[in-house]
Amino acid sequence: MPKNIITKECIENMMIEKSDTIILQKDSIITSIALDYIKEKNLKVIYQDKSEFNNTGEESAVYKKDYYNINNLSSNLVLQFYYLMLKIRLFEELAKAYKEKGIISGDFVHLYLGQEAIAVGVCCALKKEDYITSTHRGHGHMIAKGADISKMLAELLGKVDGYSRGKGGSMHIEDIDLGILGANGIVGAGLPIACGSALVSKLNCDDSITVSFFGDGASNQGTFGESLNFAKIFSLPVIFLCENNGYAISTPVDYSCSTPNIHKRGLGYEIPSEVINGDDVFEVYFKCKNAVEEIRKKPHPVLIEAMTHRHVGHWVGDPQNYRSAEELKNLPKYDPLKIFLEKIKFRTDISDSDLEKIAVKVTDEIKKAATFADESQYPLKEEAIKDYLKE
């Protein structure tokens, strides 16, 4: 059985009932930030064998029968899923720690913790030449599409070596060369941008597809209906990917939406629409890969609603008073990394050693990104009124 990666978020979830004792499997890998947090909170850690751990009362995740066969996927692709999801997880954990310590200035940092499977499953089904539009919760999308985490972290810190030379911050990162058309601080703003991108692709006959990531809250914006209608009229090669994590900031989807099934709205525009399990990277990948292949054959829009769970607040520091203790307690069983490890445990071509090598590699990349961002300089005040264009 693959070893568990224990992050600060994992420790926080275990402390929901204010316990000062953390029970871990003996073969768990604890990140450095998680270790610091354990020391800071003076927590007692008990290590148990797997057989004992399964009898401590932790509820195992219950999975429906899969319609797909992960054995049809190469070990390289499966390990790429793990590499990217873990990279997002540890990057977001570092961003959270930096924000809590005041190293990242500004009002908000929105984390992608708990939703890693969606960005990775979608972007692994795309080519480099394809495009994405993102949201205010965009770090995961950027990393899954290949963004440089060193430049991302420098941008979060407002440094000159960041993607926008420190002037864009957490919610405004782009890399056109990678097909990343930008994160966006305006709810629902990426939807019409995606239509524009897809229209250019269709006019140029370049075989590219655009994916527009948006949340359940954005489905109530006018841009949602306008974009779906426009995309259908012109048969645009675009996937509208709704990440339904249950909340628009603190407003539950069942309160703000006339229907709990956002994907069904696409049927009103005669757009192929479906709902998927956004916590399962394999389901996301297989569904999106199929949609991508169909769109490349004949351009048309598709709406996919990925049901998922936001494991933290809307922003770093959000007290989450709108979520029940029971809901927060159950979040760990929806952890995409946990689900991934459970599903691959019978793959004989993937060993614990393979997973540990990836964990070491990702940890090293995160450390290098932190060093790069810390050593980068703040921009001069004169740069505030300057624009920088690539030559």
Two structure tokens written together for 324 = 């029940």
Pair 278, 146 in one domain: yes
C-alpha span between 17 and 328 (Å, rounded): 10
- State the Cα–Cα distance between residues 276 and 287, nearest whole angstrom: 8
Residue 4 confidence (pLDDT): 64
Q: Are 139 and 112 in contact (CB under 8 A)?
A: yes
Query: What pLDDT score does 388 carry?
Result: 57
Question: 89-108 burial by CB neighbour count: b if 16+ within 10 A, else e?
Answer: bbbbbbbbbbbeeeebeeeb
Residue 219 lies in a domain: yes
User: What's the CA dihedral at 265, 269, 270, 273 to 10 degrees?
Assistant: -30
Say how far apart CA 259 and CA 264 lie, in whole Å: 8
In a domain, 34, yes or no: yes
Global pTM reads 0.84
Residues 30 and 125 in one domain: no
Structure tokens at 343: 């599903």
My answer on whether 40 and 136 are in the same domain is no
Same domain, 34 and 178: no
248 with 274, same domain: the answer is yes
231 and 279 inside one domain? yes
Whether residue 356 lies inside any domain: the answer is yes
pLDDT value at residue 53: 39
Q: Both tokens of residue 219?
A: 């489905």
Show Cβ contacts of residue 216 under 8 Å, excluding neighbours closer than 6 positions. Answer: 242, 243, 244, 245, 246, 247, 248, 253, 256, 257, 262
Q: What is the pLDDT of residue 356?
A: 96
Low-confidence spans in the chain with pLDDT less than 50: 1-2, 50-63, 391
Predicted local distance difference test score (pLDDT) of residue 249: 94
48, two tokens: 């148990």
Q: Report d(CA 48, CA 222) in Å as an integer.
A: 53
- Confirm whether 383 is domain-assigned: no
Could you write out the DSSP letters of every residue in 101-154? TT-S-SS-----TT-HHHHHHHHTTS-TTSEEE--SS-HHHHHHTT--HHHHHH
The answer to whether position 330 is within a domain reads yes
The per-residue pLDDT for 78 is: 98
Amino acid identity, residue 33? I
How many structural domains does the chain have? 2
CA 187 and chain centroid, separation = 17
Does one domain contain both 81 and 3?
A: no
Give 288-291's long-range contacts (Cβ < 8 A, gap of 24+).
288/121, 288/122, 288/125, 288/211, 288/239, 288/241, 289/125, 291/125, 291/239
Asked if residue 26 is part of any domain, the answer here is yes
Residue 251 lies in a domain: yes
Question: What are the beta bridge partners of residue 44?
Answer: 21
> Are residues 240 and 228 in contact, defined by beta-carbon separation less than 8 angstroms?
yes
Residues 228 and 322 in one domain: yes
Please give the C-alpha separations between residue 104 and each of 1, 76, 170, 228, 362, in angstroms, as whole numbers: 37, 35, 9, 36, 22
CATH number of the domain that residue 354 is part of: 3.40.50.970
| Domain identity same for 324 and 202 | yes
Report the number of secondary-structure helices (H) and strands (E) in the chain: 14, 11
- Shared domain for 43 and 149, answered yes or no, is no
259 plus 115 within the same structural domain: yes
273 within a domain of the structure (yes/no): yes
Give the residue from 334, 333, 320 showing the smallest Cα distance to 250: 320
Residue 144 shares a structural domain with residue 117: yes
Tell me the one-letter amino acid at 202: K
SS3 276: strand
Q: Which domain holds residue 23?
A: 1-58
